[in-house]
């Protein structure tokens, strides 16, 4: 059984970290000016069948103070789905992930680009020294793509002068034929049975030696809260459940990504099992 623990990093399409701080004395500043936005870097991920494609478009914007100090970087990696012969479904998916999805393209962690910049400018003026630049980052990572489902794991990171970065993992899946976002009710035979099966799996999995001493004392009571609409996804191996920082363990333990292999995920409808 595999799991992934992310120790203060995100092992996703966007990697976010605090580099070693370099101190410098700052003088009077004018409003920060954005450097020219880096050109989007597309990455095509074709499906062997030939009619499904996902392009990952990356854009990165750096904001600098008038004296050249690097204040803020905002990085976004969003998918662009193409479904030959079904442009309506593809458009529905693309519109969802950039607008009404888990993270609004124009508002990461509830901050617009302009709000994040004002925050960075204010802190820069208030502090006597400036260390690591502030950062906001979101990235979609394709996990499964076939005639039934297109599924992503989503990573978001922020550092806005706090003691440490904040990380969020999420999952999202779409019906390939309609472009509609899939809910738990859509993919399982029975929601109550699915909830019980997932909980039993998590209880068994977290008893393994590798989890000893890193989970909260009351983590078992918290496991039932993990199965929710933004915390699961499907990949080639099985049904994944995400536990974010602080949900079942402290920040230092990182995030957990549990996977129930399809051969054990009998609660899923047959067409969603590989």
CATH number of the domain that residue 161 is part of = 3.30.565.40
Task: State mean pLDDT over 84-111.
Answer: 83
Question: In DSSP terms, which residues pair with 169 in a beta bridge?
Answer: 155
Distances (CA, A) of 160 to 74, 111, 230: 11, 11, 24
pLDDT of residue 252: 87
pTM of the model: 0.80
User: Tokens 């993992």 belong to which residue?
Assistant: 169
Distances (CA, A) of 230 to 102, 162, 240: 7, 25, 11
Q: pLDDT tens-digit profile of 28-82? A: 333 344 444 454 556 666 554 569 999 999 999 999 998 999 999 999 999 999 9
Distances (CA, A) of 170 to 44, 76, 109, 157, 258: 22, 15, 13, 12, 13
Residue 107 falls within a domain, yes or no?
yes
pLDDT band with cut points at 50, 70 and 90 for residue 106:
low
User: How deeply is 210 buried, as exposed, middle or buried, from its count of CB atoms within 10 A (0-12, 13-18, 19+)?
Assistant: exposed
Residue 220 · residue 199 · CB < 8 Å: no
Q: pLDDT tens-digit profile of 179-236? A: 999 999 999 999 999 999 999 999 999 999 999 999 999 999 999 999 999 999 999 9
Token couple for 78: 């969003």
Number of domains in the chain: 1
Residue 87 falls within a domain, yes or no?
yes
Q: pLDDT tens-digit profile of 237-272? A: 999 999 999 999 998 898 999 999 999 999 999 999
Rounded to whole angstroms, the Cα distance separating 41 from 55 reads 10
pLDDT of residue 10: 35
pLDDT tops 60 at residue 138: yes
Q: How many residues does the chain have?
A: 274
pLDDT of residue 32: 41
Count of CB atoms within 10 A of residue 5's CB?
15
Question: In DSSP terms, which residues pair with 241 in a beta bridge?
Answer: 232, 258
Dihedral sign, Cα of residue 65, residue 68, residue 70, residue 72: positive
Task: State mean pLDDT over 171-176.
Answer: 97
Residue 35 falls within a domain, yes or no?
no
In 3D space, the residue among 240, 238, 249, 244 whose CA is nearest the CA of residue 272 turns out to be 238
Q: pLDDT tens-digit profile of 147-171? A: 999 999 999 999 998 888 989 999 9
Residue 33 falls within a domain, yes or no?
no
Residue 112 falls within a domain, yes or no?
yes
Residue 144 falls within a domain, yes or no?
yes
Domain hosting 237: range is 3-16+41-272
Residue 188 falls within a domain, yes or no?
yes
Residue 25 falls within a domain, yes or no?
no
pLDDT of residue 101: 62
pLDDT tops 60 at residue 143: yes
pLDDT of residue 52: 94
């Amino acid at each position: 059984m595999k799991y992934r623990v992310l120790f203060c990093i995100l092992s996703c399409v966007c990697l976010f970290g605090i580099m070693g701080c370099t101190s410098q004395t700052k003088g009077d500043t004018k409003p920060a000016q954005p450097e020219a936005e880096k050109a989007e870097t597309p990455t095509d991920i074709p499906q062997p069948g030939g009619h499904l494609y996902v392009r990952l478009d990356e854009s990165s914007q750096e904001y600098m103070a008038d004296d050249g100090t690097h204040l803020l970087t905002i990085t976004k990696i969003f998918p662009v789905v193409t479904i030959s012969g079904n442009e309506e479904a593809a458009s529905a998916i693309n519109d969802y992930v950039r607008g009404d999805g888990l993270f609004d393209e124009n508002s990461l962690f509830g901050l617009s680009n302009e709000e994040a910049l004002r925050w960075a400018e204010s802190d820069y003026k208030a502090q006597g020294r400036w260390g690591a630049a502030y950062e906001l980052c979101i990235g979609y990572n394709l996990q499964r793509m076939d005639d039934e489902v297109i599924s992503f794991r989503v990573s978001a990171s922020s550092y806005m002068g706090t003691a440490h970065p904040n990380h969020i993992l999420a999952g999202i899946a779409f019906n390939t034929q309609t472009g509609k976002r899939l809910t738990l009710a859509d993919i399982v035979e029975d929601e109550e049975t699915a909830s019980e099966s997932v909980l039993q799996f998590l209880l068994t999995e977290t008893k393994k030696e590798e989890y000893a001493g890193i989970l909260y004392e009351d983590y078992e009571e918290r496991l039932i809260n993990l199965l929710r609409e933004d915390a699961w996804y499907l990949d080639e191996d099985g049904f994944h459940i995400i536990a974010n920082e602080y949900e079942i363990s402290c920040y230092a333990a990182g995030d957990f990504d549990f996977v129930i292999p399809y051969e054990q995920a009998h609660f899923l409808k047959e067409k969603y099992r590989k």
